[in-house]
Amino acid sequence: MADRKLRSNYDPGSPRWATRRAQWRALGLSDEDMEKPKIAVVNSSSDLAICYSHLDEIAKKTKEVINRAGGIGFEVRTAAPADFITSAGHRGGYILAGRDLIANDIEVAVEGALLDGMMCLASCDKTAPGQLMAAGRLNIPTIIVACGYQPCGQYRGEHCDIEDVFLSASHLAQGRITLPELAEMSDNAVWGPGVCAGMGTANSMHVACEALGMALPGATPVLANSPKMWAAVEASGRRIVEMALADLRPRHVLTPGSFANAAMVMLAVSGSINTVKHLQAVAEEAECDVDVYRLFERYADRVPLLAAVRPNGEHAIEDFEAAGGARAVMKRLEDLLDRDALTVGGRTVGEILSNAGVDDGEVIRPADRPYGRRPTIVVIRGNLAPAGGIVKLAVADDRRLQFTGPARVYESQDEALAGLRNGEIQAGDVVVLRGIGPKGSPGMGMASSLVFGLDGAGLTGQIAVVTDGQLSGLVNRGIVVGEVSPEAAGGGSLALVEDGDRISIDVLRRFVDLDVPEDELAERRARQASAPSSAERGWLSIYRRLVRPLNEGAVLAPRTERQQVR
């Protein structure tokens, strides 16, 4: 019995009490059960992708744990976008848009039923941010559980994962791999359930959940279906009941300090560039007054690179987990972090780190012996990206970091790939791929196939790419300025670029500029045709109308006065 009145409990005799009692009695609940904390087990499950194939069993056991701990678990389902599967339709527009659909699915099920808390099962790239966004919006006790990465395989004696398959597929047209060889790689890349192995968006966001304080300490990353994962499920199920009774809410955890901690951890592990916009989206939903893009800029030169996990370095994600994972990285960064930040475990970051250690000092290095001091997640600005663009660099990247060349403009990835095949793209060009941002796509199209295609053509290092689209959370090749904001469809300067215009990029000085006089740009803007009416219907048409700019997290919520929750 709760010490406080739970919001899920109605006054006996009221119509709400009577009708809900009738429904839940038919499900086998007793009157005593109906007085307990009612916890949503948020399950983004789907048969479409291996990332989700184990979640139903996890959800089942999670409910059992919650029930044993004195609560009642109710499984609710959400959309389950998977990048390598759901990206097939509408130029990949359903991927980022799926993140916001997850948040809204959760709101409908959990807020509609006035449940008392949530335990969210995080898997593929968009589930963790969507669940965090819902937690920030609803502000009811919530805990995130990372459901793990997939065991990857081998190809002819070498490590092989799904990103290797993705990259190699781009080399097929150039004859650098044969179709039977690619099929053999595909046969051996994934050996079990879970998210992509490596420090891609999924594992990066799982680690970010712990850095934010929204997952239990020591829980990320984790091998799917491992004893460690099941132990985290057990501990989290018990803890969420305690949180519901204590009314420990996400906005007590999601503070400016916790977002700074997450940004520093992402810089230290060379996480996915997608974490920047996802963390900003979570801040927006939690009404936390913080600019995540500026956090990455502020700490870029202060946080050394402490881990080099594939594909950013030679270590496997398994090595990183064995070395201590997120908690060990935070221990290395202890002097920089906000140690007063609260976590869902009820302890502060400082209290957690007081007993933490690092199990392998080569995999997770100390700050005085890092893999590198130059940031690998670089926010750059300029007249082509006044609100920011992002460059992802590799560990100890010694490639050319300045580039100036003529623009070669394309309005879609297919058009750009056709231009590559036809020999239109030449060494020295700056390829501009526009119109695939959150509003333009809509939903934000992927530009990675173009980047990998250029790599397959042997043009890496000889060309640069500027795009308002999104990129793979794992691998990029050459100088690629992604996620440019404002996007072309939102009135950004990218829409004004013409073939032959000079574009200058300097990653070290962090700018990307269009070398065209302002009066000429003003003339182009004045004669630019209005955007054609959208042909989309359904979810993507709603997304296009409501989505906010990338630097505001590309969320759908209306702009309101944000306030810092203390």
- Would you state the pLDDT for residue 175? 82
Note whether 437 and 309 are same-domain residues. Answer: no
Q: How many whole angstroms separate alpha carbon 74 and alpha carbon 71? A: 10
Q: Which of the two residues, 557 and 458, has the higher pLDDT score?
A: 458
Q: Return the CATH number at 235.
A: 3.40.50.2300
Q: Assess whether pLDDT exceeds 50 at residue 2.
A: no
Token pair of 293 as six digits: 């893009």
Note whether 199 and 336 are same-domain residues. Answer: yes
Note whether 410 and 502 are same-domain residues. Answer: yes
Note whether 297 and 414 are same-domain residues. Answer: no
Over residues 408-430, mean pLDDT: 95
User: Are the beta carbons of 154 and 122 closer than 8 angstroms?
Assistant: no
Containing H/E element for 522? helix 518-527
Maximum Cα–Cα distance for the chain, whole Å? Answer: 76
Q: Calculate what percentage of the chain has a pLDDT beyond 70.
A: 95
Q: What is the mean pLDDT of the chain?
A: 92
Over residues 86-104, mean pLDDT: 91
Q: Which residue, among 80, 79, 208, 209, has the nearest Cα to 144 in the 3D structure?
A: 209
Q: How many whole angstroms separate alpha carbon 17 and alpha carbon 438? A: 43
Q: How many whole angstroms separate alpha carbon 44 and alpha carbon 79? A: 6
- Would you state the pLDDT for residue 355? 94
Note whether 513 and 450 are same-domain residues. Answer: yes
Tens digits of residue pLDDT in 445-464: 888 889 888 988 889 889 99
Q: Are strands 430-433 and 402-410 parallel, antiparallel or unpaired?
A: parallel
Over residues 155-184, mean pLDDT: 86
Query: Which ranges constitute the DSSP H helices of 87-226?
Result: 94-106, 112-113, 127-138, 162-169, 179-188, 201-212
- Kindly name the residue from 472, 485, 493, 504 that is annotated as catalytic: 472
User: Are the beta carbons of 434 and 501 closer than 8 angstroms?
Assistant: no
Q: Which sign, positive or negative, has the C-alpha torsion 551, 555, 558, 564?
A: negative
Domain of residue 449 covers 377-532
Note whether 342 and 389 are same-domain residues. Answer: no
Q: How many whole angstroms separate alpha carbon 129 and alpha carbon 63? A: 22
Q: Assess whether pLDDT exceeds 80 at residue 4.
A: no
Q: How many whole angstroms separate alpha carbon 470 and alpha carbon 444? A: 6
- Would you state the pLDDT for residue 51? 93
Q: Which residue, among 141, 103, 96, has the nearest Cα to 119 in the 3D structure?
A: 141
**Structural domain includes residue 547:** no
- Would you state the pLDDT for residue 561? 47
Note whether 274 and 126 are same-domain residues. Answer: yes
Note whether 338 and 381 are same-domain residues. Answer: no
With a CB cutoff of 8 Å and minimum separation 6, the contacts of 206 are: 122, 128, 146, 195, 215, 220, 221, 222
With a CB cutoff of 8 Å and minimum separation 6, the contacts of 506 are: 401, 402, 512
Q: Calculate what percentage of the chain has a pLDDT beyond 90.
A: 80
* pLDDT grade for 555, boundaries at 50, 70 and 90: very high
- Would you state the pLDDT for residue 88? 85
Q: Which of the two residues, 453 and 113, has the higher pLDDT score?
A: 113
**Structural domain includes residue 363:** no
Tell me whether residue 168 is one of the annotated catalytic residues: no
Tens digits of residue pLDDT in 16-53: 999 999 999 999 999 999 999 999 999 999 999 999 99
- Would you state the pLDDT for residue 3? 57
Tens digits of residue pLDDT in 517-544: 999 999 999 888 665 556 678 999 999 9
| Inter-CA distances, 124 with 85, 235, 244, 269, 562, Å | 11, 22, 26, 19, 29
**Structural domain includes residue 301:** yes
Listing DSSP states for 268-309 in one string gives HHT--THHHHHHHHHHHHTT----HHHHHHHHTTTS-B---B
Q: Assess whether pLDDT exceeds 50 at residue 435.
A: yes
HSE toward the beta carbon, residue 122, CA cutoff 13 A: 38
- What radius of gyration, in Å, describes the C-alpha atoms of the chain? 24
Q: Look at the chain and report how many structural domains it folds into.
A: 2
| Inter-CA distances, 471 with 83, 156, 452, Å | 11, 28, 10
Tens digits of residue pLDDT in 275-307: 999 999 999 999 999 999 999 999 999 999 999
Q: Assess whether pLDDT exceeds 70 at residue 186.
A: yes
- Would you state the pLDDT for residue 565? 36
What residue type is assigned to position 109 of the chain? Answer: A
- Would you state the pLDDT for residue 152? 87
Q: How many whole angstroms separate alpha carbon 363 and alpha carbon 358? A: 9
Q: Return the CATH number at 468.
A: 3.50.30.80
Q: What share of residues in the chain are helix, strand, coil (percent, to 5)?
A: 40, 15, 45
Note whether 405 and 526 are same-domain residues. Answer: yes
- Would you state the pLDDT for residue 313? 87
- Would you state the pLDDT for residue 471? 84
User: Are the beta carbons of 331 and 203 closer than 8 angstroms?
Assistant: no
**Structural domain includes residue 417:** yes
**Structural domain includes residue 429:** yes
Residue 263 CA, chain-centre distance (Å), reads 12
- Would you state the pLDDT for residue 456? 83
Q: How many whole angstroms separate alpha carbon 334 and alpha carbon 349? A: 9
**Structural domain includes residue 131:** yes
Q: How many whole angstroms separate alpha carbon 505 and alpha carbon 480? A: 10
Collapsing DSSP to helix, strand or coil, 154 comes out as: strand
Note whether 343 and 398 are same-domain residues. Answer: no
Note whether 503 and 385 are same-domain residues. Answer: yes
- Would you state the pLDDT for residue 351? 98
User: Are the beta carbons of 148 and 58 closer than 8 angstroms?
Assistant: no
Positions of E strands within 55-175 = 72-77, 117-122, 142-146, 153-155, 158-160
